[in-house]
């Protein structure tokens, strides 16, 4: 089992639902956290305050993760403030919904810039700079298997994330760094709930045997497992969805 004390994590999208829950869960286990945000500094600062109020270590850093220069600053800050980087938790992403036939191609490009290029940039940096014993945790979605209408561009971007993760795991042979992808099902975050009618949310919630939506904390438990003790899980996509089919 990998000791989490003195480990350092970067959590992209740390001001959002799953990112925030992941940052809080890692900090509770003794991990120092760089909380990344892009546009919601107040929420990121609140996450940092919640961590430090409980005796943890955290700092907020803003920037566009699809730009190598600004993404590099995340790693520079982690090394400068905490001594290095052991874990990358890459939750940052967007999820505009539209039928494929109606999706504006500029919106398609924006989805792929953030979800695919952003993943490639931060994974590239993590592959260069994570210490031995490290973990890269990317985020996909159970929609890649559930095939719900209106999610075509989003699911395509997350299929690319899975491919990047699986290949990077093999490329890091001999480095003692794991690379896995977490694929949540419907989870009660602003990203998921925005724009959905209450009756649709209830219908979706009943699609798994627990008959509820996942919570960010449900997903964060899997993140903490992959970030620390799960050293023999590598090159995998883990579907964390309560058994949704």
Active site residues: 154
Token pair recorded at residue 36: 């990344």
C-alpha pair distances (Å), 10 with each of 32, 85, 103, 206, 223: 9, 7, 33, 34, 12
Start-to-end CA distance of the chain, whole Å, equals 32
C-alpha pair distances (Å), 87 with each of 15, 99, 100, 130, 148: 17, 36, 35, 7, 32
CA distance linking residue 92 with residue 94, whole number of Å: 7
Q: Exposure string (b/e) for 201-213, b if CB count within 10 Å is 16 or more?
A: eeebbebbeeeeb
Other residues' Cβ atoms within 10 Å of the Cβ of residue 42? 10
102's CB contacts (< 8 A; 6+ apart) are none
77's CB contacts (< 8 A; 6+ apart) are 34, 59, 61
Q: If you count DSSP H runs as helices and E runs as strands, how many of each does the chain have, helices first? A: 10, 7
Contact between 136 and 178 (Cβ < 8 Å): yes
Token pair recorded at residue 2: 């990998």
135 DSSP β-pair partners: 87, 178
């Amino acid at each position: 089992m990998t000791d989490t004390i003195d480990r350092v994590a970067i959590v992209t999208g740390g001001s959002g639902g799953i990112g925030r829950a992941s940052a809080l869960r890692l900090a509770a286990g003794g991990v120092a956290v760089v909380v990344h945000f892009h546009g919601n500094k107040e929420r990121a600062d609140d996450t940092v305050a919640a961590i430090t109020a409980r005796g943890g270590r955290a700092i907020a850093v803003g920037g566009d993760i699809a730009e190598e220069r600004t993404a590099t600053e995340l790693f520079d800050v982690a090394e400068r403030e905490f001594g290095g980087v052991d874990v990358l938790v890459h939750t940052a992403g967007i999820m505009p919904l539209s039928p494929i036939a109606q999706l504006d191609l500029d919106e398609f490009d924006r989805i792929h810039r953030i979800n695919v290029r952003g993943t490639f940039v931060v994974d590239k940096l993590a592959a260069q700079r994570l210490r031995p014993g490290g973990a890269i945790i990317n985020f996909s979605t159970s929609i890649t298997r559930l095939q719900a209408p209106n999610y075509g561009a989003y699911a395509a971007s997350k299929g690319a994330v899975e491919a990047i993760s699986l290949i990077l795991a093999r490329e890091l042979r001999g480095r003692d760094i794991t690379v896995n992808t977490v694929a949540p099902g419907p989870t009660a975050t602003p990203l998921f709930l925005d724009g959905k009618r209450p009756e649709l949310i209830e219908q979706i919630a009943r699609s798994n045997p627990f008959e509820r939506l996942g919570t960010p904390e449900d997903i964060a438990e899997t993140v903490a497992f992959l970030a620390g003790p799960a050293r023999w899980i590598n090159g995998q996509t883990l579907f964390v969805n309560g058994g949704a089919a």
